[in-house]
Amino acid sequence: MNKEGERFRPIWIDLQADVVKVIDQRALPHEQVIMDLNSVDQVIFAIREMVVRGAPLIGVTGAYGIFIALKNDKYNGDATYIENDAEKITNARPTAVNLAWGVNRTLSAVLPEKDPARQIDIARRVAGEIAEEEVENSRNIGQYGVKLIEEIARKKFGKPVNILTHCNAGSLACIEYGTATAPIYAAREKGINVHVWVDETRPLNQGARLTAWELGKYGVPHTVIPDNAGGHLMQHAMVDMVIVGTDRSTYTGDVANKIGTYLKALAAKDNNIPFYIALPVSTIDRSLEKGLNHIPIEKRSAEEVHYMEGLNSQNKLEKIKITPKNSTTVNYGFDVTPARLITGLITNKGICKATSNDIQQLLQPK
Ligand code: MRU
C-alpha cells in the first residue's frame, strides 16, 4: 500500500503478472489485505461478499471480470460461454446499475472480435478505460461540487463548513477521489476549512471503517457519529450540507443509496439543509422513471445485523454477536430517496436539479 496522503486505488492490474488485484475492504481499516482475482467465481465472491463495493468500483470490477473470464483455460472462443459468465457476474449484486453497465460495455467490445488472444487485449483495455473514466468523472464531480462548499465557506468567514455523509462514497467506492468525497478533497486542496460528520452506517459500518480511514489518510478533519445522530446535529445547525453517493438514480431524479439515506434526506428537508447526491452519469438508469418499487433493493444476510466485527484486546479482528439468541433480523442494503427531497445532483457533467427536464438537459451531448 502507498504512503500516507498519497492517492491509492482499490483495484489495479499488475501488468507484469497480468493479474487483477484489489484491496479487501472487509479487513479495513485494521488490516490491509490485497486479494488477486484469477477466476470468475473469485470476481463474483469479491462483489457479493463486499471485498470490493461501491457502485463505480463494482462496475470496474465487473468489467475486469470479463477479462478474467476470457483468460480461463476452458474458454474456447464460444461466445455463449462468456455471455453466461457475464450474466453470473451481473447477478452478483442487484442495486448498483454500474455492474451491468461495466460488464455489458466490455462484453459488447469483445464479442465482435473472434480471436481469443485479441479478445483478452480488448477486455483489458476497455476495463482500464472505464477505470480511468471513473477517475475523470470523480475529479469533475469534485470541481463542480467544491463551488457549493466555497459558497457556504464565504458565509462562514473561515469557520469550518460541516458536511454530513453516509456510507462510503469515497476513493474506496470508486477508483480515486470518490463521488461524495470528491468536493471535500477538492475543498481541502483549495485550503477551505471543512469538517465531515461520518455516519457509522450500520450494519457493515462503511462510514466508521472506510470513510473515516480514507479521510484520515488525506488529512480531512472528521467525526464518526451514530447513524441516528444526524437529525439532532441538523436541528442544532451543526450541519451545513449533506453529500451522499448513489447506486442507481432514475431519469426523474429518484435515488437509491445505502439504507438510512432516505431518513437523512427527511431530516435535512425538515431543517432546510441542502441535500446533494454526487454521482457519475454512469449511475443514472435511463430506463427507469420511478425509484420506489422499481429500483431493485438488495436484501443481504441476517448475519450482518446479528454480528459486528472489530479489533479485540489482542488486536485481532473478531466477530461478536450483538443480538439475543432467538431474535430475528432483516437486512435491506439500500433505500430510495424521492427527487422531492433532493436539492441537486453533483455530476461529472455539472450540477442540476433532481428533475427529468434538468437531467435530460445535463445529459444532452455538448
Ligand atoms: O453496500 P455498498 O457498500 O456497496 O454501498 C455503497 C453505497 O451505498 C455508496 O454510497 C454508493 O455505491 C455510491 S459509491 C460512489
Q: What is the largest CA-CA distance in the chain?
A: 65
Q: Is 209 in the pocket of ligand 1 (CB under 6 A)?
A: no
Q: How far is the CA of 25 from the centre of ligand 1 (A)?
A: 12
Q: Which three cell numbers stand for residue 215?
A: 479521510
Please say if the pLDDT value at position 141 is more than 90: yes
Residue 29, preceding peptide bond in cis (omega within 30° of 0): yes
Q: Is 123 in the pocket of ligand 1 (CB under 6 A)?
A: no
Rounded distance between C-alpha atoms, residue 152 and residue 351, angstroms = 16
Rounded distance between C-alpha atoms, residue 239 and residue 225, angstroms = 12
Strand ordering across the sheet containing 248-250: 284-285, 248-250, 255-258, 334-337
Residue 203, preceding peptide bond in cis (omega within 30° of 0): yes
Q: How far is the CA of 362 from the centre of ligand 1 (A)?
A: 23
Q: How far is the CA of 158 from the centre of ligand 1 (A)?
A: 31
Q: Is 283 in the pocket of ligand 1 (CB under 6 A)?
A: no
Rounded distance between C-alpha atoms, residue 212 and residue 198, angstroms = 7
Query: First and final CA of the chain: distance in angstroms?
Result: 39
Q: Is 95 in the pocket of ligand 1 (CB under 6 A)?
A: no
Angle between helix 40-48 and 79-90 (nearest 10): 10
Q: Which residues neighbour 17 within 8 Å (Cβ) at sequence distance 6 or greater?
A: none
Q: Which three cell numbers stand for residue 305?
A: 445485523
Query: Please, which pLDDT band fits residue 78 given cuts at 50, 70 and 90?
Result: confident
**pLDDT of amino acid 8:** 85
Rounded distance between C-alpha atoms, residue 298 and residue 95, angstroms = 6
More confident: 254 or 8: 254
Residue with cell 483455460: 73
Counting ligand 1 atoms within 8 A of each CB, the residue from 51, 53, 97 with the most, and so the one to mutate, is: 53
Q: How far is the CA of 297 from the centre of ligand 1 (A)?
A: 12
User: Per the residue annotation, which of 227, 240, 247, 285 is the catalytic one?
Assistant: 247
Q: How far is the CA of 58 from the centre of ligand 1 (A)?
A: 9
Q: Is 174 in the pocket of ligand 1 (CB under 6 A)?
A: yes
Q: Is 109 in the pocket of ligand 1 (CB under 6 A)?
A: no
Residue 242 has φ and ψ, to the nearest 5°, of -115, 135
Rounded distance between C-alpha atoms, residue 40 and residue 37, angstroms = 8
Rounded distance between C-alpha atoms, residue 33 and residue 36, angstroms = 10
Neighbouring C-beta atoms of residue 18, cutoff 10 Å: 11
Rounded distance between C-alpha atoms, residue 276 and residue 286, angstroms = 20
Q: How far is the CA of 55 from the centre of ligand 1 (A)?
A: 6
Tell me whether strands 275-279 and 241-244 are parallel, antiparallel or unpaired. Answer: parallel
Q: Looking at ligand 1, which atom is closest to the CA of residue 333? A: 1
Q: Is 56 in the pocket of ligand 1 (CB under 6 A)?
A: yes
Please say if the pLDDT value at position 232 is more than 50: yes
Rounded distance between C-alpha atoms, residue 245 and residue 126, angstroms = 24
Q: What is the mean pLDDT of the chain?
A: 96
Rounded distance between C-alpha atoms, residue 197 and residue 212, angstroms = 9
247 labelled catalytic: yes
Residue 280, preceding peptide bond in cis (omega within 30° of 0): no
Counting ligand 1 atoms within 8 A of each CB, the residue from 58, 101, 258 with the most, and so the one to mutate, is: 258
Strand partners, 265: none
Q: Is 55 in the pocket of ligand 1 (CB under 6 A)?
A: yes
Residue with cell 451531448: 365
Query: Please, which pLDDT band fits residue 75 given cuts at 50, 70 and 90?
Result: confident
Taking residues 232-251, report their average pLDDT.
98
- The answer to whether 134 and 282 are in contact (CB under 8 A) is yes
Each residue's pLDDT tens digit, 296-326: 999 999 999 999 999 999 999 999 999 999 9
**pLDDT of amino acid 1:** 41
Each residue's pLDDT tens digit, 312-361: 999 999 999 999 999 999 999 999 999 999 999 999 999 999 999 999 99
Q: Looking at ligand 1, which atom is closest to the CA of residue 55? A: 12
Residues written for the chain? 366
Q: How far is the CA of 112 from the centre of ligand 1 (A)?
A: 33
Each residue's pLDDT tens digit, 19-43: 999 999 999 999 999 999 999 999 9
Q: Is 103 in the pocket of ligand 1 (CB under 6 A)?
A: no
- Residue type for 184, please? I
pTM assigned to the model:
0.96
